[in-house]
Amino acid sequence: MRPTLPVAVVISGRGSNMEAIARAASSANRGYRVVRVIADRPTAGGIARAAALGIPTSVVPVKDYADRGAFEAALAAELESTGAQLVVLAGFMRILSPEFVRRFEGRLLNIHPSLLPAYKGLDTHARVLAAGDSHHGASVHYVTAELDGGPVVMQGRLPVRPGDTAESISARVHTLEHIIYPNVCTLIAAGRVAWRNGTVYFDDEPLTSPLIEENDAAA
Ligand code: GRF
């Protein structure tokens, strides 16, 4: 049997994805466990949520460091000290340097609220509505030096509804995120999804397009 995969989750905000990932692992054998939740600011709501779940937490306050390099060195040291083999960014609102990304290459994931490669960056829900798109969703991807540009492992996809607002569709996208992020962690823990030398494999075949979860989450 495979050993349980130790996962660290890095957050800046409320941590609902962190909670979904942690709860999934404690309610069923997902093959991974959350060993630490780390925030870049003491006010991140997810720190209290993690503590309530009994997960060890730490804060690496970005304000305490002179520059990005010093902050990232502290974050990397904190992450390495946890023994985590997978680092999950979940609402972490900082852009990481290529050096940091290289250090954690192949064991660093992010979730982005769009069907990448569409709508990299911010304000994705409003931009999807303004464009009149028929579908929206979220993507879990490996992190590379290109912002929101690493290989996508899984997407949750849902239809835009007539009358949707950024708030209403964001809520449904979040519900989908809470399904796909734990599922990707589970696939990685099982060895079914793996990063080898810059290529993502699914069941030992190169993954040529993202795994799709079709789901109108609030239906
Ligand atoms: C999510 O929408 C995620 O896609 C984006 O930041 C948000 C984090 O939400 N990267 P939460 O803190 O997990 O609730």
Of 195, 182, 156, 177, nearest to 7 (Cα)?
182
Q: Could you tell me if 174 and 211 are in contact, meaning their C-beta atoms sit under 8 angstroms apart?
A: no
> Can you give the pTM of this predicted structure?
0.97
State the Cα–Cα distance between residues 34 and 10, nearest whole angstrom: 11
For the stretch 26-70, pLDDT in tens is 998 999 999 999 999 999 999 999 999 999 999 999 999 999 999
CB of 136 shorter than 6 A to ligand 1: no
For atom 14 of ligand 1, the residue with the nearest CA is 16
The catalytic residue positions are 112
For the stretch 137-176, pLDDT in tens is 999 999 999 989 999 999 999 999 999 999 999 999 999 9
pLDDT at 218: 53
Q: Taking the CB of residue 210, how many other CB atoms lie within 10 A of it?
A: 22
